[in-house]
């Protein structure tokens, strides 16, 4: 956590001083991002949803959302969008207290979220800069076909790379891209090892709340860098130490040493009450051993690695494979497999009020997963960064009821084993 905070602070300082240092800034999104390609042109990526996330954790998002609503944005619009727009309207001050730069390019990589397109329309209204769109086919049939890959690679060659060259004044350097992608693959190996360490009992990590810190550098501005390699080496060594010592995960409340429940969680966390939300799990001895949120920036534990030997094709496969680009049967398959592979007691859905990319179909998914695995599902409702939609008492009551049910089921199972 300390290392990552230093990395993020350093990145936002580079963004704040980009114009005076002659650096180009590209606004883009986390799912399906082209970080290595941007870095190969010496451009700095800026992610609007990360701005919103950071604002939520710093208790500023409510004010920004209210500002966006005063300017006519609906109460039901994605709160990431309203938070980002509100932050811009109030000066566009980043998490380090420094003003963020205007973009030199808006890069929209559509990966299963329709809101992204409207979001960039709103940004285009405010910034006079070029726009590049990389359209990613949706995995409607649950598979990536060669035709889909060819379609994306063609866009990279004819639309994205020429825009990068135009904006940065640099020629495309495929060898530099290959070097960065090689670094990515090595960091991805360490991340997957850390995530899969949760198969141990007790799990040395929390793959949902703690997972937020694990995925941060790889999903945002650092993939492909030496800093990312160092971060994931440090992370793996730290987790290896906890695993050797038989320790549970580190939480804001300290070491969790009484693993009572092992859970798989679907959906993003709530950011405005992140620590309070995590404490509700800690107090019950509940450890999240796998989560879908840690796959929004890449499904690396399903085998994908950035491949420097075929860089453009590999970027296309990466964009296609992000979690929000998977159809509902594929998501059900993933969660059911996590439950079995990580020997989870149950699974929990955190339904996000303003995020259709996650919340659409979740009740159908819940019933299907219960039937397939025989494990009990729980359901709670919060939001991403709108504090109005986090009811601590309601969430706590639902969680306590769910954990009581899991404890009862465990007792019944143990009684059956004794009787037999």
Q: Tell me: do 162 and 185 sit in the same domain.
A: no
Threshold 0.75, pTM exceeds: yes
- In sequence order, the 6+-apart residues with CB closer than 8 A to the CB of 162 are none
SS3 14: helix
Tell which of 175, 199, 233 closes a domain.
175
Strand duo 250-251 + 254-255: pairing: antiparallel
pLDDT in tens, 241-299: 999 999 999 999 999 999 999 999 999 999 999 999 999 999 999 999 999 999 999 99
Q: Tell me: do 212 and 114 sit in the same domain.
A: no
Q: Which phi and psi (to 5°) does residue 390 adopt?
A: -120, 105
Q: Tell me: do 266 and 133 sit in the same domain.
A: no
Q: Tell me: do 213 and 150 sit in the same domain.
A: no
Q: Tell me: do 90 and 190 sit in the same domain.
A: no
Q: Tell me: do 138 and 194 sit in the same domain.
A: no
Q: Which helix (H) or strand (E) holds 128?
A: none
Kindly indicate the confidence band of residue 415, based on its pLDDT and cuts at 50, 70 and 90. Answer: low
Question: In this predicted structure, what is the pLDDT of residue 409?
Answer: 85
Domain limits for position 153: 2-175
Tell which of 175, 194, 209 closes a domain.
175
Tokens of 263: 């859970």
> CA 146, CA 63: separation in Å to the nearest integer?
46
Q: Which phi and psi (to 5°) does residue 49 adopt?
A: -70, -25
Q: Tell me: do 128 and 6 sit in the same domain.
A: yes
Residue in the structure block whose two tokens are 């050797």 = 244
- Arithmetic mean of pLDDT over the chain: 94
Q: Which residues pair with 255 in a beta bridge?
A: 250
Q: Which phi and psi (to 5°) does residue 26 adopt?
A: -120, 120
Q: Tell me: do 236 and 377 sit in the same domain.
A: yes
- pLDDT-above-70 percentage for the chain: 98
pLDDT in tens, 210-240: 999 999 999 999 999 999 999 999 999 999 9
Q: Tell me: do 92 and 230 sit in the same domain.
A: no
Please check the confidence at residue 358 and state whether its pLDDT lies above 90.
no
> CA 298, CA 286: separation in Å to the nearest integer?
25
Residues 100/15, Cβ–Cβ less than 8 Å: yes
pLDDT in tens, 300-344: 999 999 999 999 999 999 999 999 899 999 999 999 999 999 999
Q: Which residues pair with 291 in a beta bridge?
A: 265
Question: Which phi-psi region, left, alpha or beta, contains residue 267 (left: φ > 0; alpha: ψ -120 to 50)?
Answer: left
CATH number where 148 lies: 3.40.50.11890
- Listed residue (140, 390, 134) closest to 275, CA to CA: 390
> CA 96, CA 186: separation in Å to the nearest integer?
30
Q: Tell me: do 234 and 346 sit in the same domain.
A: yes
Kindly indicate the confidence band of residue 357, based on its pLDDT and cuts at 50, 70 and 90. Answer: confident
Residues 212/295, Cβ–Cβ less than 8 Å: no
Name the domain count of the chain: 2
Q: Tell me: do 138 and 223 sit in the same domain.
A: no
Mean pLDDT of 355-373: 93
Kindly indicate the confidence band of residue 417, based on its pLDDT and cuts at 50, 70 and 90. Answer: low
Question: In this predicted structure, what is the pLDDT of residue 412?
Answer: 56
Tell which of 175, 202, 233 closes a domain.
175
Mean pLDDT of 384-397: 95
CATH number where 400 lies: 3.40.50.11900
Q: Tell me: do 318 and 351 sit in the same domain.
A: yes
Question: In this predicted structure, what is the pLDDT of residue 410?
Answer: 79
């Amino acid at each position: 956590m300390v290392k990552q905070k230093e990395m993020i602070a350093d990145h936002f300082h580079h963004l704040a001083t980009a114009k005076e240092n002659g650096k180009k800034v590209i606004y883009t999104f986390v799912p399906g991002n082209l970080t290595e390609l941007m870095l190969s042109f010496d451009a700095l990526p800026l992610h609007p949803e990360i701005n919103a996330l950071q604002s939520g954790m710093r208790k500023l998002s409510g004010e920004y959302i209210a500002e966006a609503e005063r300017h006519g944005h609906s109460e039901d619009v994605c709160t990431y969008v309203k938070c980002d727009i509100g932050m811009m309207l109030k000066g566009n001050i980043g998490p380090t207290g420094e003003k963020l730069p205007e973009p030199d390019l808006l890069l929209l990589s559509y990966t299963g979220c329709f809101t992204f397109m409207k979001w960039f329309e709103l940004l285009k209204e405010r910034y006079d800069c070029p726009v590049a769109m990389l359209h990613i086919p949706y995995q409607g049939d649950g598979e990536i076909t060669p035709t889909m890959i060819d379609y994306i690679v063609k866009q990279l060659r004819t639309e994205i790379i020429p825009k990068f060259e135009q904006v940065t004044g640099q020629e495309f350097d495929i060898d530099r891209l290959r070097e960065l992608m090689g670094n990515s693959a090595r960091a991805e190996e360490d991340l997957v090892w850390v995530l899969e360490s949760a198969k141990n009992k007790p799990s040395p990590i929390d793959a949902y709340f703690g997972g937020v810190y694990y995925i941060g550098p790889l999903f945002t501005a650092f993939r492909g860098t030496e800093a990312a390699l160092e971060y994931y080496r440090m992370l793996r060594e730290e987790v290896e130490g906890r695993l050797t010592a038989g320790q549970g995960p580190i939480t804001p409340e300290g070491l969790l040493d009484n693993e009572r429940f092992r859970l798989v969680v679907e959906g993003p966390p709530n950011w405005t009450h992140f620590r309070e939300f995590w404490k509700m799990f800690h107090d019950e001895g509940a450890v999240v051993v796998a989560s879908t949120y840690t796959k929004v920036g890449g499904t690396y534990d399903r085998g994908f690695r950035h491949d420097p030997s075929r860089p453009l094709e590999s970027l296309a496969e990466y964009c296609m494979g992000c979690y929000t680009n998977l159809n509902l049967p594929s998501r059900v398959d993933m969660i059911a497999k996590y439950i079995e592979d990580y020997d989870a007691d149950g699974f929990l859905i955190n339904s996000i009020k303003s995020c259709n990319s996650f919340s659409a179909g979740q009740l159908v998914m819940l019933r299907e997963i219960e039937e397939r695995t025989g494990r009990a599902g729980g359901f709670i409702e919060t939001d991403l960064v709108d504090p109005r939609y986090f009811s601590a008492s309601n969430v706590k009551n639902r969680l306590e009821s769910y954990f009581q049910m899991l404890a009862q089921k465990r007792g019944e199972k143990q009684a059956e084993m004794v009787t037999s």
